[in-house]
Amino acid sequence: MYDNCSYGIADEKQWVFAMLRQLNIIDGRLVDSQNGSPGAVCVYIAPDEVERKFLVEQLKVDEHTLNSSLDPDEPSRLEFEPEHVAMIFKRPKRYSSADNFPFTKVQSVQDVVLRLIYRSISHFVEHIRGIDAISGELEQQIYVSMENKHLVHLFMLEKSLVYYLNAINSNGMLIEKLKNNAAKIGFSPENIEFLDDILIENNQCRIQTEIYSQVLASLMDARASIVSNNLNIRIKALTLITIAIMLPTLVVSIFSMNVRIPLEEHPHAFWIIALLATFSATIVGFLWWRKKW
């Protein structure tokens, strides 16, 4: 449910012509470079072999770090290389590239990195709220359904929250490391203050995810019992209906035996037997209603 992103923090002069997308910091905003000019920020999404070679040989990105950034199971981390700082963090998979860079008041690459992390946390929060809304809809369907598909969907949501929680915890450790190495990375006092806010937001996101995950886990058994109880209620109803049908059948069968029986010569025997059959079914219906079966 999530993938990785890697970003390098370096002097702007170290960035060269990007093969996919380049951006510059102008008037506190990130804008696309014009006329193919080099940008302060280069964005690579699923780089091919040529781009990987360029990153390793020209930008001096460690090959292991590059491979790790493309691994969805790689934990968030911060590494210091001789010529750059490498950072890997988690973000939701449905992260729109169109929403990556509408930031304001960005003055440096460090600002961009921090706002990317902050935006990633916001996306996690939005996804978690969406999961909670879907869970509520499934809950209403489970109350009236005997099918397993709704429980399967609920289990998938619970599994997703586990992966989300792992990613958020991993990002939390990365943010802590960024804060501890703020001077080495070159964060300004404003960056450090914003980093504290990011840490608080990530902790709140983690707590919210833990709550939703615990609620789903604790209610899975209860909701499974609801499905089983719904099935029992319907089986009981069918059983009572069967009994209500069997009693009139029994009455009619008794009077239909090929032996001498009472009312054999009575002119209204048919209607009397029909009334007895109807009366027996009515008794079952009355007991059903009276005892709230």
Q: What is the pLDDT of residues 104-146, one digit of tens each?
A: 667 788 888 888 888 888 888 888 888 888 887 777 776 666 5
Report the pLDDT value the prediction gives residue 258, as an integer from 0 to 100: 63
Nearest CA-CA partner of 283 in 255, 252, 243: 243
Distance between CA 161 and CA 152 in Å, rounded? 14
Nearest CA-CA partner of 167 in 287, 43, 2: 2
Distance between CA 239 and CA 47 in Å, rounded? 65
Q: Which residues pair with 41 in a beta bridge?
A: 23
Crossing angle for the helix pair 189-255 and 269-290, to the nearest 10 degrees: 150
Report the pLDDT value the prediction gives residue 8, as an integer from 0 to 100: 45
Distance between CA 44 and CA 58 in Å, rounded? 14
Total residues belonging to the chain? 293
Please tell me the CATH code under which domain 2-228 is placed: 1.20.58.340
Model-wide pTM > 0.75: no
- Residue 106 to residues 11, 138, 165, 172, 178: CA-CA distances in angstroms? 15, 42, 29, 22, 18
Tell me which range, 72-76, 79-83, 183-187, is most confidently predicted by mean pLDDT.
183-187
Higher pLDDT, 97 or 43: 43
Average pLDDT (50-72) is 82
Q: In 58-105, which ranges are continuous DSSP H helix?
A: 63-69
| Strand order across the 21-26 sheet | 29-32, 21-26, 41-43
Q: How confident is the model at residue 100 (pLDDT cuts 50, 70, 90)?
A: very low
Q: Residue 263 gets which letter from DSSP?
A: T
Domain ranges for the chain: 2-228, 229-290
Distance between CA 167 and CA 164 in Å, rounded? 5
